[in-house]
Structure 1
């Protein structure tokens, strides 16, 4: 039965990079759904829930476990919203339906207890990472995605594994400045959507940054990754908190 009397709480998470070979992260996520998100009215997943996504036709037992847990949360009364990240941009309506979550545009605005807020994964803000932005543009094209999806599942899995290795090696060679957001892009985004608050993930640097946009003070909140601990943003009508929890 759906609980229509949910507490005025919204959670935001990103960059869990769930994978079967990190059972500690998976277990922490399932506990979060059962013990924390269960009390909320909304859960926003801002990309990279999974380490990689090669297609909705991957019906592995592990992915079914994650989908079933999200479905249970949704059926209990928590609405779940999803924005694609740079690792799971191929996630489609088939899995979204299986997990009972709603897919949102790559940049969206929400009314968060009376505040007009911009939410996104955050990779589009990192404009100094030129190599990644070139790949991003190509990989979001319909022809590239159609070509990849036409390949057998086992080949797509191998391609994803190879890409992760190359990405890890390339990241190790890049400076922290290149991989972080471009401040002017943040301000442009806030002003384009006439907002004083931006929430995103991707950079794995949880913090609350003070900026100026639209002629007034504004904030950029960065969500943490889950490699070393569980991490989420808890928002109520009266408070905003970046929280974390040990994986085990």
Structure 2
């Protein structure tokens, strides 16, 4: 079991939904990014999702696109993202870390090299623009190093495809709450129907992301899904208000999921 497997086991035992926090590596710069990431686990993040900066993040909305641009402008690279994780692990060797990336930067870097260099540092990778049919080689490379390739589904994913994806999905499933870009508006009634459809198909935990912005959303989804992913709302807070305000926001989200608020 890696850190992610252990965390998912703990969440099941505690009978609560987990909090996944997304930020872009190197936004606004390496030092400030490192400062934030190193505090996330202690603040209440159950899983840390680190975006590898890319010049054309087509699935992301304006807030996260801007974060990618800031990070790239500050000189963040795949290599520096690995270095960032090494720095995080000096302070936090327990919280699971998952990379969220597009295919281009990790292929330019060399995927096998990336996995080799992050062994025992990260616990999984989600590649946004690689269809299920082309994932086998990535899975083999990751599984050999005890990491997960995180599967992804959307509201438009048909039933037969959901069943196909479920056959080889490991770690957890990342389900996109809404068609469109990150940071969009959330249609909770439609989402709840989709969750009810997905749950019987997958025997791994289900995380919901895209559009979860506030404590009300989190409270509604708590215990309906295994994990909630918050990205744009946190990235915006970090950019506008800094580390301390972001940590306080994460603590509030964590309290909701732990039933303390």
TM class by shorter chain equals 0.3 to 0.5
- Mark the structure with the bigger radius of gyration: 1
Which has the larger share of strand? 1
Which has the larger share of helix? 2
Q: What is the TM-score of this pair, normalised by structure 2?
A: 0.42
Q: What is the TM-score of this pair, normalised by structure 1?
A: 0.44
